[in-house]
Structure 1
Amino acid sequence: MITQKEIAERLGVSRTTVARAINGSSLIKEETKRKILELVKETNYEKNYIGSSLGSKKSKKVCALVVESKNQFYTQEIKRGIEESVKEFRAYNYNVEIITTDINDPQSQLEELKKVVKRKDLDGIIITPLDNEKVYKVIKGYLDKIKIISLGIGLHENIPHVGPDHIKQGKIAAGIMANLLRSGEKLLVIDNGDDKVSSKLYLQGFLDRIKETDIEIVGPVEGHGIETSIELITDTCEKDDIKGIYINRYAHDILAKLPKTVLQDKKVVTNGIGRIIKSLIKKHIITATVMEEICSEGYSAGKKMFEILCKEKNFNNLWDISKSRIIFYENLED
C-alpha cells in the first residue's frame, strides 16, 4: 500500500501538504490539492488509523485563549488556523476548545486562564499572553502536567512559541517606504500606542530602519485614536509638504475616513491585513502592507501542540518565527 511519504515524493511536495489535502484543508492551493487527490485515487491510497498507535490513545484536550482584536480578520484567521489543525488530526482524538477574550482587557484573560488551568482533564494550553509576567505566574505551577504554547507574543524563553517578528515587519515596511520617497522628502509618522501585541513593535522596527535614510521624519506624533488622528493628519498635510504616511495602529480605520484630497499623491505603507486594508490597496490608497501569515500561525501552534502531546516530540528550537509577506496591488488575493 502506498504511503503519504511516497505520494509526497512522487509529486515533489511535503508530507504535510499531502496530509492537508487528504484531510480537506484549505491551507493549500486548489491546484496542488487536486493533483494530490488524483494520485490518491489512482493508487487506491487508504487512511489507516487503526494500525496507528496514536489512534488508540485517549483523547487530548487543549484550550486556546485567543484575543479578540478590533481587526476581526486577525481573530478569525487565528481561529481558522487552529481549527484546521484539529481537522487534520481529528482521527487521533485531538481536540481544541477556543476561548476569546478582549485584547484590551488583560485581566479578563487572566481570570479565564485561572479557570482553565484547574481543569483536571486538560492536557495543553495555547495562549496569546497579554501580560507575560502575570500569565507566567499563573501557569508556572502547572507546567509539570499541562503543556503550554504561546501564540503571537512570546511568553517565556523555555516555553514553545509560534509567532512573527513584529520589529522585522516594521523594518520591512520602512524599507519599502525608503524606496518610495526621495531624499529630503517628508514622512509623517503617527503613533497610536500599544495594542499589547504588535503596534509598539511595528513602530520600533519602522523607526529603526527609516532613521538610516535621508528622509525627513515628522514625528512620531501621538495620534490619540482614530478621530484625533484624522484631524492631526489633515492639519499637518495642509501646513506641510508631506509625501508619505505611516501609522502603527488603527491605520485601516484612519485611512478609510481621511478625505481623498489629503491622501492624494501620498505614499502610504502599513502593517497588517484585513478587509479595509485590502479595499484601500485596491483603490491605490495604500501602496503596500507587510503582514504575517496569521492562519498559518494558528495552524502551526495547533500542530506543534499535537506533536508534543500525541507524538511526545521534543523540539530543539522552541521558538518558530513565522514568515512575513509583502502585499501590493499586483499580488493581492481576495
Structure 2
Amino acid sequence: MEKIYTIKDIAELAGVSKGTVDRVLHKRGKVSEDALKKVNEVLDKIDYQPNLMARSLKKKQIYSICVLIPDSANDPYWQPCIDGINEAKKEFKSFNVKVEIFLFDPTSTSSFVETNKTVLNSSPDAVLLVPLFHKEAIDAIETYNSKGIISSIFNNQLKSNTIKSFVGQDLFQSGRIAARLLDLLIKKGTIAIVHIDEDYENAIHMQEKEKGFRDYFENLESGKFEIKTFKVKHPQFKTTLKEYLESNPAIEGLFVTTSKAYQVAKIIAKKPEKKIALVGYDLLENNLEYLNNKTIDFLIHQNPKRQAYLGTTSLIEHFIFEKEISPEKLLPIDIVNTENAKDYFL
C-alpha cells in the first residue's frame, strides 16, 4: 500500500520541527527560507496531498453564501437554477456552510437593487448572482468587493475586475451558432433578431448574442441575408409582433435571444401556409411543445441547472477545502431538435 505521510514523517525527512511543517502546510506564521525550501522539497518528493476532508471538518467557522437569481414565478427558465443550488446544498449539508437563495423580479431593476441591499445587510462571505441588469450588477459587485465579500456570477457574462468567477456559455459564440443554424435552414432572405421583454441597453446577454449573430453573417457573401432587430415588451407583445411580421412579409427566419421562443411560435403557427424558420433557447415545456410540432426548428440548451450548481459548489469548495476558484467555466453549447430532445430528460 502507498504510505500515508504524517506531519511527523515530513518533519523528520526535512530535518525541521513539526511546528515548522504545520506552518508551511497551513500557510500561517513565519518560516525561514531554508526551512521552507527543505519542507517543499520533501513534499514534492513524496507527492504530498493534504487531507482536505479532515481539515474541513476541524473548521468551526460557518461560511455564508447568498445566491441571487430571478424568481421562477416570473420566468420558468430559472427553476432549474434553484434545483441546481439545492442539489449543491444537499451534497455539502454536512459541512459548515450555509447557502441561502434570494429571488428578485427579472422585469424590475429596483427589485434587483433592493434584493442586493438585503443580501449586503446579511454580511455573507460570498455572493453568487445573475447579473441580469448590467449597470446595477456592476454597482452591486463593487459594493460587495469593498466589504471584502467574494462575488461570482453565472448565466450572463459581465466584465469587471472585481468578479471572482463566471460560469456559463460564451454568449457571442452562442449567437454565431444560432446564425449558422438559420443559414442552413433558409439559405437566403430576411432574418429578424427578436428581443423580448428586457431592456436591451442594459442587457449584456442579449447584446452579446446579437453581436455574435451579426458577426457570422458579416463574413458571408453580401446580399444573401438582410438582418433586422425587433424589440418587443408585454402587454402589447402579441399584437405588436403580429403587425411586425405582416409589415415585413420578406422575413424567412427568426432568432429569439431568450427562453421565450414559444411566444413567437404561437403566433407564426397560426399561419402554416408560410413557414418561418425559428431558433430560440432553452428546454422549457412550452418551447418543447413547439419544437416537437416543428414550429421551432432548433433550441440552444444553456443548461441553467448545471450553471447554478457549478457556481455554488465552486464557492463552497473554496471555503471548506481551500480550493482555488476558477475565473471562468464555459459550458458546451448544445443544439437540440426533435431528434435528440428526449435525451435531455433521461
- For structure 1, which segment, 212-221 or 72-81, has the greater mean C-alpha deviation from structure 2 after superposition? 212-221
Alignment-derived partner of residue 210 in structure 2? 203
Alignment-derived partner of residue 92 in structure 1? 95
CA contact (8 A) 2:190 2:228 kept: no
Alignment-derived partner of residue 217 in structure 1? 226
Identity, % of aligned positions:
19
Alignment-derived partner of residue 241 in structure 2? 229
Q: 1:248 and 2:257 equivalent?
A: yes
Q: Could you tell me which amino acid in structure 1 is paired with residue 216 of structure 2?
A: R
TM-score, normalised to structure 2, is 0.72
CA contact (8 A) 1:162 1:301 kept: yes
Structure 1 unaligned segments of length 5 or more: list them: 2-48
Root-mean-square deviation (CA), in Å? Answer: 2.7
Q: Could you tell me which amino acid in structure 2 is paired with residue 96 of structure 1?
A: V
Query: Matched residues in 2 for 1:112 and 1:72: separation?
Result: 17
Alignment-derived partner of residue 135 in structure 1? 140
Q: 1:302 and 2:315 equivalent?
A: no
Alignment-derived partner of residue 41 in structure 2? none
Q: Could you tell me which amino acid in structure 1 is paired with residue 194 of structure 2?
A: I
Structure 1 residues 118 and 245: CA distance shift in structure 2, 3 A:
closer
Give 1:257 deviation, angstroms. 3.1
TM-score, normalised to structure 1, is 0.74
Structure 1 stretches (4+) deviating beyond 6 angstroms? none
State the structure with more CA Rg. Answer: 2
Structure 1 residues 71 and 102: CA distance shift in structure 2, 3 A:
closer
Deviations 1:160-194 (A, max 9, x none): 22222212111111111111122x43334434452
Which of 173, 192, 197 is equivalent to 1:168? Answer: 173
Give 1:278 deviation, angstroms. 0.9
Structure 1 residues 245 and 311: CA distance shift in structure 2, 3 A:
same
Aligned residues: 279
Query: Matched residues in 1 for 2:208 and 2:293: separation?
Result: 27
Q: Could you tell me which amino acid in structure 2 is paired with residue 213 of structure 1?
A: L
Give 1:60 deviation, angstroms. 2.2
**For residues 63-78 of structure 1, what are the structure 2 equivalents within 5 Å?**
63-68=66-71, 72-78=75-81
CA contact (8 A) 1:289 1:328 kept: yes
Structure 1 residues 64 and 278: CA distance shift in structure 2, 3 A:
same
Deviations 1:70-121 (A, max 9, x none): 873321011111111111111213321101001222232222222322325x
Structure 1 residues 286 and 299: CA distance shift in structure 2, 3 A:
same
Deviations 1:49-84 (A, max 9, x none): 9x7232343332211111236873321011111111
- Report the 3-state secondary structure (helix = DSSP H, G, I; strand = E; otherwise coil) of the residue aligned with 1:187: strand
Alignment-derived partner of residue 113 in structure 2? 110
Deviations 1:243-262 (A, max 9, x none): 32223344321222334325
**For residues 1-334 of structure 1, what are the structure 2 equivalents within 5 Å?**
52-58=54-60, 59-68=62-71, 72-120=75-123, 122-129=124-131, 130=133, 131-143=136-148, 146-153=149-156, 154=158, 156-158=160-162, 159-182=164-187, 184-192=188-196, 194=200, 196=203, 198-214=205-221, 215-223=224-232, 225=234, 226-227=237-238, 228-237=240-249, 240=250, 242-249=251-258, 250-261=260-271, 264-315=274-325, 317-333=326-342, 334=345
CA contact (8 A) 1:223 1:232 kept: no
